[in-house]
Amino acid sequence: MVRICGWIVRLKVVGRVAITEVVTDLYNKPVVVAVKSDRDLELFSKVKDLPIGTAVCIDGEVSPEQRSKRGVEYLAKDIRIYAKPSESMPVDLVGKVPALLDTRIKYRYLLIRNPVERSIIKIRALVLKLAREFLENRGFIEVHTPKIVAAGAEGGATLFQVKYFESNAYLSQSPQLYKQMLMTSFSKVYEITPYFRAEKFNTKRHLNESWGIDVEQGFIDSEEDVMKTLEELVAYIVNGVIERAPEELELLGVEARPLSTPFKRIDFREAVELLMNRGLEIPEGEDLSEAAERELGSIMAEKNCEAYFIKKFPWTSAGFYYMRDEEGFTARKFDLDYKGLEVASGGQREHRYEKLVESLKLKGLSPSDFEYYLEAFKYGMPPHGGFGLGVERLLMSLLNLDNIRLTTVFVRDRTRLTP
Ligand code: AMO
């Protein structure tokens, strides 16, 4: 006899049989329990009027006969009632009554009792587990860097300011500066971390609090060393999800294709040419727009390519910390796009003190604001590089979701600070 616990998502009484479906952590589909009044009148009477949403534990075992397509059939000896909802469910968990996105986001913590919604969150956890597994196997050390910081790495426009006793501080946009500083003492580090960005626009692919898998590695020859780590990591994650979560993918109706490495590489200039041939206008020296990224995604899909790197971004569109190529126009920065969406960016950093100070000034930043960071470059800083892989972006692409908000239970965007 085993005990499994969860919540009633469906209850139907047909004549003398009460059929109840209970969602549990154990299976993707609900546990189906049929209680017949002529077999166990006491249990039948206990169950037949239970409201949807009741928290219960079932004492019983898997039925030798499995006839229901809806879930795993159990033979129950007893059903213990732990909590009955005091109000009716604010959303339809079975998914028959469509809910507005707003309602879905507000009650996501309840909606994830539904096997389909639940699968996204389970795959999210699997993605992080696979990432850790891969990086640990490769000898990367997990580190933690401050989330309350004195300076931003990704530009002042998206910094959230917080009061820090007598002075002002910011929420970290990226562990960029700290993971680089760690390159003075470790050669391979990673951090799984929230990013806080005050993006003012309500888009389908931006959150104000998102999560990144950040990596930094030292003693590299070029950004190619870092790209190799990233492509192998992403292939490990995507292929691992396909292998370990086939049922969740099926519930979501997702047919994910395995990725093989190496991923295709194209230069930024080549990408611009491809896009201009399709009639898109790409302003000189700027990053690719969302529309351009999507169009490039369809161009690459025609070549049967889902994941690809864009290399050699214009220096004017890159962060100050990326190494500039000799001629000065391009930075050693790359993006990784997956099905037309940027899921990661990274590159080789400037590790030479004088050049780094020069870069800061060229970007109109004041070296004095970055003194603590710059100091680290005085004590034997090796050539290094890394990347930030967006967890929600990766999930959105992998699961073909049309809104990034669906990848997380509690959303932080322009209009949401609760729940
Ligand atoms: P970048 O700013 O490109 O690079 O961020 C890295 C990746 O994080 C994800 N991401 C976001 N996802 C959702 N909502 C957002 N507002 C958001 N902002 C970023 C994207 C993006 O590709 N320091 C560099 C990384 C590095 O060079 O190591 C950085 O933060 O998937």
Ligand 1 mean position, distance from CA 84 (Å): 43
pLDDT tens digit sequence for 307-319: 999 999 999 999 9
In the chain, CATH 2.40.50.140 covers: 2-88
Mean pLDDT of the chain, nearest integer: 96
Q: Is 270 a catalytic residue?
A: no
- Residue 378's pLDDT is 98
Q: Is 393 a catalytic residue?
A: yes
pLDDT tens digit sequence for 382-406: 999 999 999 999 999 999 999 999 9
- Residue 164's pLDDT is 97
- Residue 201's pLDDT is 85
Inter-residue contact 2 to 27 (CB < 8 Å): no
Rounded to whole angstroms, the Cα distance separating 123 from 226 reads 25
Coil, helix or strand at residue 246? helix
Atom of ligand 1 nearest to the CA of 347: 27
Class of residue 219 by CB neighbours under 10 A (exposed 0-12, middle 13-18, buried 19+): exposed
Over residues 88-106, the mean pLDDT reads 87
- Residue 239's pLDDT is 98
Rounded to whole angstroms, the Cα distance separating 124 from 111 reads 16
The structure tokens listed for 179 are: 């993971």
Calculate what percentage of the chain has a pLDDT beyond 90: 92
Ligand 1 binding pocket includes 195 (Cβ within 6 Å): yes
- Residue-by-residue DSSP string for 51-75: PTT-EEEEEEEE-S----SSSEEEE
Q: Hey, whose CA ends up nearest to atom 5 of ligand 1?
A: 388
Ligand 1 binding pocket includes 154 (Cβ within 6 Å): yes
Q: Is 154 a catalytic residue?
A: no
Rounded to whole angstroms, the Cα distance separating 333 from 56 reads 53
Over residues 91-117, the mean pLDDT reads 90
- Mutating to test ligand 1, I would choose from 339, 345, 397, 401 the residue with most ligand atoms within 8 A of its C-beta, which is 345
- Residue 54's pLDDT is 97
Ligand 1 binding pocket includes 225 (Cβ within 6 Å): no
pLDDT tens digit sequence for 21-61: 999 999 999 999 999 999 999 999 999 999 999 999 999 99
Inter-residue contact 335 to 345 (CB < 8 Å): yes
Q: Token match 């126009």: residue?
A: 329
Calculate what percentage of the chain has a pLDDT beyond 70: 100
What lies within 8 Å, CB to CB, of 325 at 6+ separation is 312, 315, 331, 332
How many other C-beta atoms are found inside a 10 Å radius of the C-beta of residue 108? 20
Spot the catalytic one: 345, 349, 392, 397.
345
Rounded to whole angstroms, the Cα distance separating 338 from 194 reads 21
Q: Is 206 a catalytic residue?
A: yes
pLDDT tens digit sequence for 181-213: 999 999 999 999 999 999 988 999 999 999 999
Q: Hey, whose CA ends up nearest to atom 21 of ligand 1?
A: 344
In the chain, CATH 3.30.930.10 covers: 115-407
Has residue 154 got a pLDDT over 90? no
Output the pTM of the full model: 0.97
Q: Is 197 a catalytic residue?
A: yes
Range list of H helices, 350-411: 353-362, 371-375, 391-398
- Residue 368's pLDDT is 94
Ligand 1 mean position, distance from CA 388 (Å): 6
User: Which helix (H) or strand (E) is 5 found in, with range?
Assistant: strand 2-14
Ligand 1 binding pocket includes 342 (Cβ within 6 Å): yes
According to CATH, the topology of domain 115-407 is BirA Bifunctional Protein; domain 2 (3.30.930)
Ligand 1 mean position, distance from CA 393 (Å): 9
pLDDT band at 412 (very low <50, low <70, confident <90, very high): very high
Nearest one of 392, 384, 317, 391 to 347, comparing CA atoms? 384
More confident call, 147 vs 285: 147
Q: Is 199 a catalytic residue?
A: yes
- Mutating to test ligand 1, I would choose from 159, 160, 174, 323 the residue with most ligand atoms within 8 A of its C-beta, which is 174
Ligand 1 binding pocket includes 343 (Cβ within 6 Å): yes
Q: Hey, whose CA ends up nearest to atom 9 of ligand 1?
A: 390
Ligand 1 mean position, distance from CA 9 (Å): 38
pLDDT band at 156 (very low <50, low <70, confident <90, very high): confident
pLDDT tens digit sequence for 365-376: 999 999 999 999
- Residue 93's pLDDT is 84
Inter-residue contact 118 to 112 (CB < 8 Å): yes
Q: Hey, whose CA ends up nearest to atom 23 of ligand 1?
A: 176
pLDDT band at 151 (very low <50, low <70, confident <90, very high): confident
What lies within 8 Å, CB to CB, of 174 at 6+ separation is 153, 154, 195, 212, 214, 388
Atom of ligand 1 nearest to the CA of 212: 8
Inter-residue contact 348 to 382 (CB < 8 Å): no
Has residue 95 got a pLDDT over 80? no
- Residue-by-residue DSSP string for 122-161: HHHHHHHHHHHHHHHHTTPEE----SEESS-SS-GGGPPE
How many other C-beta atoms are found inside a 10 Å radius of the C-beta of residue 191? 22
Q: Taking the chain, what is the end-to-end CA distance rounded to the nearest angstrom?
A: 38
How many other C-beta atoms are found inside a 10 Å radius of the C-beta of residue 397? 23
Alpha-carbon torsion, ordered 20, 24, 29, 33, to 10 deg? -30
Nearest one of 150, 201, 145, 203 to 174, comparing CA atoms? 145
Ligand 1 binding pocket includes 345 (Cβ within 6 Å): yes
How many residues appear in the chain?
419
pLDDT band at 98 (very low <50, low <70, confident <90, very high): confident
pLDDT tens digit sequence for 225-265: 999 999 999 999 999 999 999 999 999 999 999 999 999 99
- For 2-88, the fitting CATH number among 2.40.50.140, 1.10.357.10, 3.10.180.10, 3.90.1640.30 is 2.40.50.140
Range list of H helices, 156-307: 176-181, 223-244, 246-252, 268-277, 290-302
